[in-house]
Every structure is written in C-alpha cells, then in structure tokens.
Structure 1
Amino acid sequence: MTIKPLVILPDSQLRLVSAPVASVTDEIRRLADDMLETMYEAPGIGLAAIQVGVPVRLVTIDVSREEDARVPQVFLNPEIVWSSEERSKYEEGCLSIPDYYEEVERPSKVKVRYRDLAFAEQEVDADGILATCLQHEIDHLNGVLFIDHISKLKRDRVVRKFAKLAKEKERG
C-alpha cells in the first residue's frame, strides 16, 4: 500500500465530477487500499478518490473511534437515494482543506446505494457521523466541497487563504 499525496485547495481537480467505476479491477482494489492507508495516515475519517487525484466514484470511510478496532468501508458509485427532512449540524473538516473546520448543516439520516468491492449492490441506512461523512464524500464525487455549504463570506475567506498559501509554496 502507498500513501498518496492529497490534492489541496485551491487545486481545480477538486471541482471535477468523478466518473463511475465500471468494474472492480486490481487497479481499483489497489486504489481503495492506498486511499485507506492515506486516510489513516492523514488522519481522517473519509476520503474520495478525487482527493488523491483520481476522478472515479470511489470513497473510503472509517468512523470508528480511535480507541476501537478499525472498521474500513469502501463505497463504489455511492448515491444518496433518500435523505431525512430532519437536519443535524456537525463540525466538518476536510483533508483537502487542512486545519479548517466549520459547522455544516445536513440531513441527519440518509440511505445510500453503492457497490462493494465484489461489485455487489448494497444499501446502507446511516445517521450521525456516518451520514455526515457519506454526504461530505459523495459531495466530493460531484465537485462540491463542504465550504460550499457555509456562508459566502467564510468560503471566500478560506479560498483566499489557501490560494495565498499555494502561491507562497510555488515561490518556494
């Protein structure tokens, strides 16, 4: 397994809409393994393939607590097929927007249809942090970032900050 470099804001790749996974290949399995390794190393609880520069509809998630055993999950072509009217707020962060956190309101429960690594169709009913994480990562597959769910003023401020950091890094 390989730890992949993360795509960081303001990289325009983060706005790409990812292509469906057509079948499970060795390459897809390897990508899922690498993404889990990258996610754990970061550390994070979710990662979309586009965040490592691969525009395919693949998401890895592990919302287990640090003191518990890891429970890695891989979602191919995930789609939200139902969401509750009830809403919840969680403080979200993103590995592609390091060290920035903001409270985001989303549906508190979702039903997600996806394919597993055997390419069998599955559904999961999620609430709490898993529901939030699934919505956050599925947004990534559609070129949407969690900062798109906050006020324009806050979003503009964080985008400017990361654009400035990217320019400084370019200059060395």
Structure 2
Amino acid sequence: MKLPIVAYGDPVLKKVCGPIDEAYPDLQQLIINMFDTMNNASGVGLAAPQVGLPIRLFIVDTGSDDKARYKKVFINAEILEETGELWAFNEGCLSIPDVREDVMRKPNVTIRYYDEKWELQEETVSGMPARVIQHEYDHIQGTLFTDKLGLLRKRMLQSKLDNISKGNISTDYKMRFPNQRKKR
C-alpha cells in the first residue's frame, strides 16, 4: 500500500524519533508499504517520519542494477563514525519536492542497526549508499537536508518551502501537507 508522504513543514519531520522493539505493530507490513511508497515516488530512501511515524526506521534502495544495488532496512540505527573528506552532492527529498541543493557529507559511514529480521548489524558503507544512509538517518534525528544549507541559501528558498507546506506543488505521488487550506 502506498502511503502519503509528509511534506515540509509538518512537525513530525523535526522530531528526534524514538526506538522501537520487535513487538512494534505490523512492522513487516509497514516496511513493505514504505518500499512501495518509495518506489512509487522514484526515491532511493525513505524514513518513517516521512510517512508520519516518529520512529527510528528507514529504508534504502539505490536502484535496479543488481551488482551496484544497495537495498536495506535500518531499525534503531546509530551512526558510529563518518570519515573521509567532505564532498558536495546535489540532494533532494521526497518531503521537499522540486528542491535540490548541494549538501556536504563525508563519503564513508559506519552504522549499527537492526535489520528487518531483528539481527544486529554493523557495517561501513561508502559512496552513494553512505550518502543516502546519512540523509535518511538525518530524518530520524529530526534534520532535513535544507537544515544543512547556509542561511542565505535557505532564505532564498523560503517561499518555495512555504508553498510546499501549503500544498502549492504538484507531485506524481500522494502527499500530506501540514498547512494546506481546506477547499470549500
């Protein structure tokens, strides 16, 4: 089932999310729904707050090339280390459609998390998968990629961000807008 994606301005996107346990209701179905939602929106990652849930869960799927594909579920993730020289990459976000900006991140990340089978994992990831992990991890920490922009750049984007929160944008996927006026 495709879930509505929460738009910029919704308070759930600014919350530090709480951990969950194996008894979280319908977790496997939620994971399936999140993959359906992300794929329908042509995304490479999706965090639970983006579907309105303030829990420490996110998914990553970098594409269809089986050799280079990185597809994982991250539950209660904790980034242990980020290493390497900062590099800029033009990022976007399903919760902030039609806004793309260069964000500086380190190219390597070591992360500890539970997978969908509740097995504890720890791995070091590099390159694009590391960037997607960092972006989605930021979501469960209540941080958006626009928070990493300079003050002037963010000020220049503010009217576009305001329009997104009001629903004055068109997307190919279902969204929930925090400041949308009800149509009479």
Q: Work out whether residues 103 and 149 of structure 2, in 8 Å CA contact, stay in contact via their aligned partners in 1.
A: yes
- The one-letter amino acid paired with 2:14 is R
1:170 aligns with 2:170: no
The equivalences for 1:9-20 within 5 A come to 9-20=8-19
What is the aligned partner in structure 1 of residue 78 from structure 2?
79
What is the aligned partner in structure 1 of residue 39 from structure 2?
40
Name the CA shift for 1:24/1:59 in 2 (closer, same or farther; >3 Å): farther
Q: In 2, distance between residues paired with 1:111 and 1:45?
A: 19
Aligned length: 169
Offset of residue 148 of structure 1: 1.0
Q: In 1, distance between residues paired with 2:82 and 2:52?
A: 29
**Structure 1 or 2: larger helix share?**
1
Q: Work out whether residues 86 and 109 of structure 1, in 8 Å CA contact, stay in contact via their aligned partners in 2.
A: no
1:55-98 per-residue CA deviation (whole Å, 9 max, x = no partner) reads 1111010012x5x2565311101111011142221110000000
Offset of residue 5 of structure 1: 0.2
1:114-144 per-residue CA deviation (whole Å, 9 max, x = no partner) reads 0011111101211111111111100000100
Q: In 2, distance between residues paired with 1:124 and 1:103?
A: 26
What is the aligned partner in structure 2 of residue 50 from structure 1?
49
Name the CA shift for 1:93/1:120 in 2 (closer, same or farther; >3 Å): same
What percentage of aligned pairs have identical amino acids? Answer: 36
Q: In 1, distance between residues paired with 2:70 and 2:108?
A: 20
Q: Work out whether residues 47 and 61 of structure 1, in 8 Å CA contact, stay in contact via their aligned partners in 2.
A: yes
For the aligned residue pairs, the C-alpha RMSD in angstroms reads 1.8
Offset of residue 167 of structure 1: 6.9
Q: In 2, distance between residues paired with 1:71 and 1:86?
A: 22
Q: In 2, distance between residues paired with 1:108 and 1:12?
A: 29
TM-score of the superposed pair, with normalisation by structure 2? 0.85
TM-score of the superposed pair, with normalisation by structure 1? 0.90
Q: In 2, distance between residues paired with 1:134 and 1:71?
A: 10
Q: In 2, distance between residues paired with 1:123 and 1:19?
A: 20
What is the aligned partner in structure 2 of residue 96 from structure 1?
95
5+ residue gaps in structure 2?
Answer: 169-179
Q: In 2, distance between residues paired with 1:97 and 1:106?
A: 19
Paired residue secondary structure (1:54): coil
Q: In 2, distance between residues paired with 1:57 and 1:63?
A: 20
